[in-house]
Amino acid sequence: MRTGAWMPVVPSCGHADRIHHEATCDTVVRSRHVDTGTEPGLASRLLASTDRRIARDGARIVRLAGGRPVPSLSAMILDLLDRGCGDDAGADVLRMPISRAEVASYLGFEPETVSRAFAALKRSGTILRHGWATVDVVDRARLHALSEV
> Which structural domains are found in the chain, ordered by start?
2-63 (no CATH), 68-147 (1.10.10.10)
Measured torsion, CA atoms of residues 72, 4, 87, 100, in degrees rounded to the nearest 10: -40
Residues 6+ apart with CB under 8 A from 46: 34
Contacts of 100 (CB under 8 A, 6+ apart): 111, 114, 115, 132
The model's pTM: 0.59
Q: What is the pLDDT of residues 80-136, one digit of tens each?
A: 888 888 776 567 888 888 889 999 988 889 999 999 999 999 999 999 998 888 999
